[in-house]
Structure 1
Amino acid sequence: MAKLVIPSEEYAEQIAAYKAAFLEKEEVLHGTSFLSEADSIKQWIVDVHKYRKKETVPAGYAPAGTWLLIRESDHQLLGITNLRFELTNEFLKQYGGHIGYSIHPDERGKGYGAKILELTLKKAKENHLDRVLVNCDDSNLASASVIEANNGKLENKIIDSNNELIRRYWITL
């Protein structure tokens, strides 16, 4: 069906198209390690590799892994996910959480949201996390359903730094 792969130049054109699809719809690129701010896809790929290790992550940022969700039948990019290996500051502990993800606008409603979160949770377990914090906008009922389908337990709802109500879920691994 679909698998997670580490970003590489093999997928550069698809990553660029993915970014463009979100920008065209004026949507936020959740879970993409600052893809919306990247000057080039090549540099973004280099940067996501730097984030993987404490020794190379930029100061002030948490070490994290980023993966592409690729459909195996046609090697199409379906989504992008990011897993912070630790929550290094109060912002992440409250609002950022461990996991962020997005699904290509043309691929939504096909079960890929649940799949990307399921596979990211496996990566979290492989990286010795016992439980993870996953947040979503209160109005994003599709994401809330995906989190709940992956055993997310709602801890609370809080107002974030953008004055938006968000749901905070914990998933025990």
Structure 2
Amino acid sequence: TKNPLLAPYIMKITKMWRKLGAWFWLATQNMDDFPPSTAPMLNMIEWWICLNMPPDEVEKISRFRELTPAQKGLMLSARKESGKYTEGVVLSKSMEVLFRAVPPSLYLALAMTEPEEKKQRYDLMQSMGVDELGAALEVAADLDRKRGIDPLNITFPTPRALENLA
């Protein structure tokens, strides 16, 4: 959507899909990705699913959707605890809901892309002599322990065991 040449086509597709009863889903971490020409498309959005965000992003959303002070307060109340959960808000005509997403530890470990998270996995790879998946499994087990739950014991078949299956 940042590409101004793409925006008119996305808007036409969105309007066509609405006539067919389909919804256009899109996600961004930055409302500035949308050029001003996409305002009509953003004004048509029926469901806003917003993860925790800084106040300036809430103000940017209010350019495209009228937000009451209570809705802004709800959006600003969403929190994130790294490695544990992320809160967000769903806004539609029929509901305003604060929710908390608590993904499984393995999903979190596989999705970690911050430089310090990558370094942690690399250090585990070096110290334990495992590949990236093995390091992610160890990070997930550590997250489970920090959450106070027993880590999943995931084992993969050996190449020899796979040969015996063939």
Q: Provide TM-score, normalisation by structure 1.
A: 0.27
More helix by share: 2
Report which of the two structures shows the higher radius of gyration computed on alpha carbons.
2
More strand by share: 1
